[in-house]
């Protein structure tokens, strides 16, 4: 906060040999010390508030990615479920149907969105995956999802810390305003008595 405040000596305004000072806060001149502190506190809180939006957007994007990766895992689980249980050879294929085509289409869109390589094949204008490709894709997606989930947790902790700093800055500014009002009230009260 103090890097926002600059003290300027007022030339020729000494009172009983004490130099008088006015303060400039982020380009706003002519403020006394209390006003300067209040202005700086509110400017700091506002700057933090403005930056919080960027942090929240990063968290939203990570949440969306984790959700999308969850969708990919559910499509892969559908693919495994559609395979014959009596024939578990490495070349075993997922069932080819319009339902699976729409699920694989969603999977392909998500993988393209995040530049994830996945081995989906086509036959007779239907999508399918082999058991080995599904298993490899599941491992890859689960790993990516764990990484994103860990990053999301770290981002949320950072966001919480950032919001706490914002709340503290607003609280400090509000306390300074109250203190200033109380001082002004006491000064006026002392003048009357």
Evaluate whether residue 191 is within a structural domain: no
Evaluate whether residue 193 is within a structural domain: no
Evaluate whether residue 33 is within a structural domain: yes
Q: Return the closest-CA partner of residue 123 out of 97, 91, 87, 89.
A: 97
pLDDT tens string 23-78: 676 666 766 767 777 777 777 788 888 888 888 888 899 999 999 999 999 999 99
Q: Quote the domain boundaries for residue 116.
A: 2-183
What pTM was estimated for this model as a whole? 0.67
Tokens in use for 162?
């950032």
Lowest mean pLDDT segment, chosen from 26-35, 97-106, 132-141? 26-35
Helices 33-81, 98-113: crossing angle, 10 deg rounding: 140
When divided into structural domains, the chain yields a total of 1
Evaluate whether residue 112 is within a structural domain: yes
Whether the Cβ atoms of residue 152 and residue 162 lie closer than 8 Å to each other: no
In the block, tokens 């007022």 appear at 10
């Amino acid at each position: 906060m103090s890097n926002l405040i600059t003290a300027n000596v007022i030339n020729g305004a000494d009172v009983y040999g004490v130099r008088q000072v006015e303060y400039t806060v982020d380009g706003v001149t002519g403020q006394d010390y209390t006003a300067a502190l209040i202005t700086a506190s509110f400017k700091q809180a506002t700057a933090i508030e403005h930056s919080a939006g960027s942090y929240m957007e990063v968290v939203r994007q990570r949440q969306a990615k984790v959700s999308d990766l969850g969708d990919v895992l559910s499509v892969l689980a559908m693919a495994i479920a559609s395979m014959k249980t009596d024939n578990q050879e490495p070349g075993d294929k997922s069932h080819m149907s319009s339902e699976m085509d729409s699920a694989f289409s969603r999977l392909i869109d998500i993988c393209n969105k995040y530049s994830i390589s996945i081995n989906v094949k086509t036959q007779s204008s239907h999508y399918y995956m082999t058991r080995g490709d599904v298993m490899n894709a599941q491992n890859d997606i689960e790993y990516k999802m764990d990484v994103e989930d860990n990053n999301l947790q770290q981002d949320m902790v950072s966001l919480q810390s950032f919001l706490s700093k914002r709340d503290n800055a607003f609280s400090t500014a509000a306390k300074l305003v109250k203190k200033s009002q109380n001082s002004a009230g006491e000064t006026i009260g002392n003048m009357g008595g």
